[in-house]
Amino acid sequence: MSPLRIALLGYGTVGSSVVHRLTRADAVRDLTLTRIFDRRADVKRRAHADLRGVAWTTRIEDALCSDADVIVETIGGLEPASGWIQDALRAGKSVVTANKQVIARDGECLLRLAARQGRQLRFEAAIGGAMPIVRAVADGLAGDRLTRIVAILNGTTNAVLSRMDATRCAIDDAIRDAQRRGYAEQDPCLDLDGDDARAKLAILCGLAFGLRVTPEEIAARSAASVTSADVEAARRDGATIRQLACASHDAADSTLTAWVAPVAVPRHSIFGRATGPQNAALITGAHAGEIGVSGAGAGGDATAVAVISDLLAIARDRAAIVPALILKPPKCIRGFGEIADFRIQISDCESRMSDSFLAEAV
Ligand code: HSE
């Protein structure tokens, strides 16, 4: 079988790591990068003159109409990325994307389009960086009836909060450090305010519970106002503050409870132990109970692992069908206001909303 030909859209943090994996000495067999689209291709091409056999372009049509089998989208943002994914599928390409905003808003339609076209749309990189949570929920645990997901889904906020805890620095210093390391979104408010985690949680609600939920329907409290004093108070309690994303589904009355917020978690829990850009998730099923996954949740190299894994899945079985999502809206979505008790049981420990945020949230 000839290698899978790949055209990349966007040579940023994730895109450049994907290129690195596809072209360097330990390049992945069966995958060949043929084209890179980037608005600044002329400048970037000069800095990467050693990339042989790869055509750079500033014209999106050159990538979408090329002989590539798969388009890898690492541009981010809703538009034009969503339109280009549609164009790629219509042109008979499979698509691998890291774009949580697009999948949260348009994933259902795009998966249907992919199935109609006999092509694949894969998006492991949209959630959790290298932590394989999309496959865990959609495939590995498909045999269970999932009832709850509690997770750290934003690596930047985790890096900020864990640095505040480790170095006792102020939040602004910790944010600058995360930006320097290349974890943050272009607008870091998307990380700290919870918008990034809400998009990822909305996708997980579709995969885990079959529910159509928009990110805006998920309640959120920002982590931007966490202070050194909050972190110290949590420490005195044997806890540390993390941004948790939580969704639980009561199928009997079709009620979803979903929120993203800074929460005091026990230091020894899976969440307290997640430091830097790590993500972690506890997924609860009616039959298997609690399953945990954790690992590098942001950064170019970690996210490129998820992209390459999706590419390899396509290379292994080019005719595979990624099942369309059949979603329905829940009858009722609850956030903070309607929850009487903010405590959540996590395995053998109990987590609680840190007091200052609890006061604001109710
Ligand atoms: N800004 C995101 C994060 C990137 O920090 O988790 C990975 O989705």
* Shared fold status for 4-122+301-316 and 133-296+331-361: no
pLDDT band at 184 (very low <50, low <70, confident <90, very high): confident
Q: Is the CB of 156 under 6 A from ligand 1?
A: yes
Percent of residues, the chain, with pLDDT higher than 90: 82
Inform me whether the pLDDT recorded for 9 exceeds 80. yes
Give the model's pLDDT for residue 170. Answer: 95
Domain ranges of the chain: 4-122+301-316, 133-296+331-361
Give the model's pLDDT for residue 344. Answer: 66
Give the model's pLDDT for residue 358. Answer: 46
Inform me whether the pLDDT recorded for 57 exceeds 90. yes
Distance of CA 57 from the midpoint of ligand 1 (Å): 27
Give the model's pLDDT for residue 356. Answer: 52
CA distance 93 to 109: 16
Nearest alpha-carbon partner for 70 in 324, 316, 323, 326: 316
Atom of ligand 1 nearest to the CA of 158: 5
pLDDT in tens, 228-274: 999 999 999 999 999 999 999 999 999 999 999 999 999 999 999 99
Give the model's pLDDT for residue 346. Answer: 63
Inform me whether the pLDDT recorded for 53 exceeds 90. no
Give the model's pLDDT for residue 118. Answer: 96
Round the CA-based radius of gyration of the chain to a whole number and report it: 20
Give the model's pLDDT for residue 49. Answer: 76
Q: Is the CB of 192 under 6 A from ligand 1?
A: no
Task: Let me know if domain 4-122+301-316 sits in CATH 3.90.420.10.
Answer: no
Give the model's pLDDT for residue 349. Answer: 66
pLDDT in tens, 96-144: 999 999 999 999 999 999 999 999 999 999 999 999 999 999 999 999 9
Distance of CA 127 from the midpoint of ligand 1 (Å): 8
Percent of residues, the chain, with pLDDT higher than 70: 93
Catalytic residues: 200
- Worst-scoring range by mean pLDDT, 21-30, 111-120, 169-178, 333-342? 333-342
Is residue 287 packed enough to be buried (19+ CB in 10 Å), middle (13-18) or exposed (0-12)? exposed
Is residue 51 packed enough to be buried (19+ CB in 10 Å), middle (13-18) or exposed (0-12)? middle
Q: Is the CB of 357 under 6 A from ligand 1?
A: no
Atom of ligand 1 nearest to the CA of 183: 5
pLDDT in tens, 301-356: 999 999 999 999 999 999 998 888 899 999 999 987 555 455 666 665 677 765 55
**Helix, strand, coil % in the chain, rounded to nearest 5:** 40, 25, 35
Distance of CA 292 from the midpoint of ligand 1 (Å): 20
Instruction: Please state the pTM of the whole predicted model.
Output: 0.95
CATH homologous superfamily for the domain 133-296+331-361? Dihydrodipicolinate Reductase; domain 2 (3.30.360.10)
In what helix (H) or strand (E) does residue 33 lie, and over which residues does it extend? strand 31-37
Give the tokens for residue 154: 């934003």
On the CB side of 334, how many CA atoms lie within 13 Å of its CA?
16
Q: Is the CB of 16 under 6 A from ligand 1?
A: no
Q: Is the CB of 183 under 6 A from ligand 1?
A: yes
Q: Hey, what long-range contacts does 180-189 have (CB within 8 A, 24 or more apart)?
A: 181/277, 181/299, 182/13, 182/299, 182/300, 183/155, 183/156, 183/159, 183/277, 183/298, 183/299, 184/156, 185/76, 185/156, 186/76, 188/156, 189/224
Atom of ligand 1 nearest to the CA of 297: 6
Give the model's pLDDT for residue 48. Answer: 80
Give the tokens for residue 318: 């080019």
User: Once rounded to an integer, what is the mean pLDDT over residues 15-30?
Assistant: 87
DSSP 211: B
Give the model's pLDDT for residue 353. Answer: 66
User: Around Cβ 329, how many Cβ atoms within 10 Å?
Assistant: 13
Give the model's pLDDT for residue 28. Answer: 78
